[in-house]
Amino acid sequence: MAKISSEEDVNRISKLRQEVSDIITSYYDTDFNLLRWIKGLNYNIDEAKVKLRNHLEFRRSQWQLDTIANGGQDHPINKHWQTIITGSSGKIPNTIVTIEQTGVTDFWRILHTYPINEILKARLYYLELMLRRVMEQETKTAEHYVELVHSFVVVNAPIFISIMWKIFSPILPTQTRNKVKILGSDWREEILELANPDVLPSHWNLSEKDPAENEVDIHPLTLEIFEAHGKTFSLYLGTRPVIISTDIEFIQEIAIKQFSNFSSRIEYSFQNVFPMNESLLHVGKHGPRGYGWKEIRLIASQFFTSVKMHQIFPIVYERIQTLANVIEMSLGEGHVLDIYKYIYLECLRLRPPSIFFMSRQCVNETVVQGYRIPAGVMIIIPAIGVNWSPDYWLDPVKFEPERLGYKEDS
């Protein structure tokens, strides 16, 4: 076993070991493990004793942490929540690289498929495996890991992750904040400053399959929600009450009949940050006299009256004629170009541009289809929930363009 050079640390370790001698196992009883607790709690032996005893009690409970990492990665959760320890960094001394692929992990489905104790067991396996690798490294190099995590590196993340980090990082302790590194657009080069290529995934996908095969299709997931809870139900997004509906009559009343009661949209904090604050997709009303999406629509709609459309018709016709001439020149004689609008409409039905939903916010308390909706409640209307519903379409997931033009049941 590696030795501790400081006489003071040796004495502290000896004292802490004596305090927990009745409960600590031979596996966990290493000088470095005990010193980790001592340094982590600023050399307060009394506090370290209490917290370490609690941890040791947990280790020898039903989880059996000393031996949980002995077996292989045989839990089915590991296929969907992939983590791998690849080896030593090579760039940062005495550092082990662990990679977790969270971008394509379907956490919602995992939580609704496996019991929470099974999820914890699967994750504890990896945490204990990390600790075991650290202990092996400490024995091999005789160097001490004060903390198990040297750096938490995020790569290839959406821009909103960086925005959220800028918002919340100031409230975190400096030591924790300094550990997090969110790499920018050049992350493929920046990551090489932290680890050698041989311990990094070649395609940044932990599966040997094509990365596209690991992507989760959110549409079946959305349909499962409505199969379980019905056409209209409520839930909480954090502390915000939300009503979700695919009921056509409910939607018509929200969007048309009672439009005045649902003329607002939820405004999120990230919409105040460039470029979202300049996007017409997220127009919020700032203040009682500010302009929101409703006011902008009233202004913009003046340019699309029948008179204005009649005035612009010659220009549109000219452009259409130009397109027709170009197509004719490209195809030549004897070629036919058939364009069926129903094909495009069917594609939009199966894969609508609005992937998740459109939303409205109730501004005045009202009753819709027997549901009392207080002011401030968010209404979510998922396009895919309507477009793929067997209540409205025969064989809804089948690509059948003619249903939109010829079938009566459409």
Lowest mean pLDDT of 121-135, 185-199, 229-243, 265-279, name the range: 265-279
pLDDT band at 400 (very low <50, low <70, confident <90, very high): confident
pLDDT tens column, 246-257: 899 999 999 889
Provide the pLDDT for residue 372.
92
pLDDT of residue 214: 41
Task: Tell me what pLDDT residue 206 has.
Answer: 47
What does the alpha-carbon distance between residue 262 and residue 371 come to, in Å, rounded to a whole number?
A: 14
For the chain, the average pLDDT equals: 80
Confidence tier at 374 by pLDDT (50, 70, 90): very high
Question: Of 15, 30, 59, which residue sits at a domain end?
Answer: 59
Residue 33: which domain range?
A: 7-59
The 3-class secondary structure across the chain, one letter per residue, is CCCCCCHHHHHHHHHHHHHCCCCCCCCCCCHHHHHHHHHHCCCCHHHHHHHHHHHHHHHCCCCCCCCCCCCCCCCCHHHHCCEEEEEECCCCCCCEEEEECCCCCCHHHHHHHCCHHHHHHHHHHHHHHHHHHHHHHHHHHCCCCCCCCCCEEECCCCHHHHHHHHHHHHHCCHHHHHHEEECCCCHHHHHHHCCCHHHCCCCCCCCCCCHHHHCCCHHHHHHHHHHHHCCEEEEEECCEEEEEECCHHHHHHHHHHCHHHHCECCCCHHHHCCCHHHCCCCCCCCCCCCCCHHHHHHHHHHHHCHHHHHHHHHHHHHHHHHHHHHHHHHHCCCCCCCCCHHHHHHHHHHCCCCCCCEEEECCCCEEECCEEECCCCEEEECHHHHHCCCCCCCCCCCCCHHHHCCCCCC
From 93-102, 134-143, 346-355, the region with the lowest mean pLDDT:
346-355
Instruction: Kindly state the percentage of the chain with pLDDT values over 70.
Output: 80
Residues, the chain: 410
Identify the residue with better confidence: 134 or 229.
Answer: 134
Tens of pLDDT, residues 197-232: 888 876 654 444 443 444 444 455 566 777 778 888
Residue 298 has pLDDT above 90, yes or no: no
Total domains present in the chain: 2
Q: Which residue has the higher pLDDT, 208 or 115?
A: 115
- The distance of Cα 135 from the centroid of its chain, to the nearest Å, equals 32
Residue 378 within a domain:
yes
**32 inside domain:** yes
Q: Say if 315 falls within a structural domain.
A: no
Asked whether residue 368 carries a pLDDT value surpassing 80, the answer given is: yes
Q: Are 266 and 282 in contact (CB under 8 A)?
A: no
- Identify whether 39 is part of a domain: yes
| 272 assigned to some structural domain | yes
For the ranges 114-128, 158-172, 387-401, the lowest mean pLDDT is seen at 158-172
What is the predicted pLDDT for the residue at 253?
A: 92
- Render pLDDT for 23-67 as a digit per residue (tens, 0 to 9): 999 999 999 999 999 988 889 999 999 999 999 999 998 889 999
Q: Tell me: the pLDDT tens digits for 253-281? A: 998 899 888 887 766 655 555 555 556 65
Say if pTM beats, i.e. exceeds, 0.85. no
Residue 345 pLDDT exceeds 70: yes
Residue 210: its pLDDT value, please? 42
